Amino acid sequence: MTIKDTPAKKSLRQNHILDLDEFSKSDIEVIFDNTDSMMEVLNRGIRKVPALRGKTVITLFFEASTRTRVSFEQAGKILSADVINVSSDGSSNKKGESLYNTALTLQAMKADAIVIRHQHSGAGYFLAQQMQSTSIINAGDGMHAHPTQSLLDLYTIKKHLGNIQSKKVVIVGDLLYSRVARSNLWGLTTMGADIVLCGPNTLLPQDFLDQRIDDVSHPFKNITIENDLNKALNGADVVMALRLQSERQKAGHLPSLREYSRKFGISSERLKLARSEAIVMHPGPMNEGVEIEPDVAHGPQSVIESQVTTGVAIRMAILYDLITGTNSEKEL
């Protein structure tokens, strides 16, 4: 069976993937359906299909990455796209070239999609407004958004727990600087999860929380804030630990790492407060011994490696959809 026999069934009809605030529930379900097909390809002995033969995907990373960059490269290669990796260190960015001119240059080389990670929030949005024939995929922009991580998180929850609706999802840690958390707030809200945010007050996004209190129609109005991790974990279906984003933090958020770990680290003892079938998630990279203990990270309730595998299939589905799914209709 080739992928042409089991193609992505439906299309998002989007030109770019920038954040999940642009996704309806049915859009996310389209991605889930298509990811099922891609997972079948990924689980074959020979992981190669001609779906994107003759197409070019460029990964343009201005920040470090293991999971996202490699999984996009693997996804493109499994689908037979030509994948070219560009990092800021090895590019003409080092000679002062602007992001805009770099992207125009890659578009002129007929890139079908540019996967961009950038330290500045909004970088992907800026490029998407400028591109005529190249799709932009946001692989993480500053502290703003990481939509493909959120999609893989949502898919992982659905696969392990059956559905997302009404599941109690506790997100613990650096919520202020986490782009994963911000995209997940959109995705989990859209899918009807019961979200609890837990962390020190200094690492909660107060601007967003204040807006939520003032605006009764705010999409995040039902999200619960709980500073006490033991209370937050009570009855949880999903425990999602976040890394402290020290590269983005300013000084003064925490008295000490030891204190933080004592209050907000996920230990096996604490995990007993969650439901016995609860799953433990982490977007990675992990700082074991800080936000999560090693025996939890690698324990029976951890689905962290499953998240990584899912990341490849989700990115296959996204590349396939953006590059071929809407070709006949989109004005690229």
**Site residues (vs ligand CP, CB under 6 A):** 65-68, 140, 146, 149, 283-285
CB of 135 vs ligand CP, minimal distance in Å: 19
Q: How big is the CA angle at 94 (ends 92 and 97), to the nearest 5 degrees?
A: 50
Q: Which C-beta is closer to ligand CP: that of 127 or that of 281?
A: 281
* Beta partners for residue 281, in sequence order: 240
CB of 278 vs ligand CP, minimal distance in Å: 21
Token match 């996804």: residue? 75
Residue 145, CA atoms < 13 Å, CB-side half-sphere: 20
Instruction: Give the burial string for 43-73 (b: 16+ CB within 10 Å, else e).
Output: eeeeeebebbeebbbbbbbbbebebbbebbb
| CA–CA dist 189, 196 (Å, integer) | 11
Token match 């493109």: residue? 76
Q: Which C-beta is closer to ligand CP: that of 284 or that of 299?
A: 284
Q: Which C-beta is closer to ligand CP: that of 6 or that of 249?
A: 249
CB of 201 vs ligand CP, minimal distance in Å: 25
If DSSP codes are grouped into helix, strand and coil, which group holds residue 172?
strand
| CA–CA dist 162, 191 (Å, integer) | 13
Q: Which C-beta is closer to ligand CP: that of 146 or that of 167?
A: 146
Q: Which C-beta is closer to ligand CP: that of 49 or that of 242?
A: 242
Q: Which C-beta is closer to ligand CP: that of 138 or that of 149?
A: 149
CB of 142 vs ligand CP, minimal distance in Å: 13
| CA–CA dist 239, 172 (Å, integer) | 8
Question: What order do you get walking across the sheet with 168-172 strand by strand?
Answer: 224-225, 194-198, 168-172, 238-241, 279-281
| CA–CA dist 141, 161 (Å, integer) | 29
CB of 66 vs ligand CP, minimal distance in Å: 4
Q: Which C-beta is closer to ligand CP: that of 68 or that of 135?
A: 68
Token match 């800080």: residue? 290
Read off the DSSP letter of residue 79: T
* Beta partners for residue 241, in sequence order: 172
Token digits of residue 279: 């799953």
Angle between helix 67-78 and helix 25-42 axes, rounded to 10 deg: 70
CB of 269 vs ligand CP, minimal distance in Å: 26
CB of 113 vs ligand CP, minimal distance in Å: 17
CB of 64 vs ligand CP, minimal distance in Å: 6
Q: Which C-beta is closer to ligand CP: that of 140 or that of 199?
A: 140
Token digits of residue 210: 């204040």
DSSP H stretches of helix in the chain: 25-42, 67-78, 99-108, 123-130, 147-161, 179-190, 206-214, 229-233, 257-264, 268-271, 294-297, 304-320
Q: Which C-beta is closer to ligand CP: that of 7 or that of 284?
A: 284
CB of 241 vs ligand CP, minimal distance in Å: 12
Read off the DSSP letter of residue 306: H
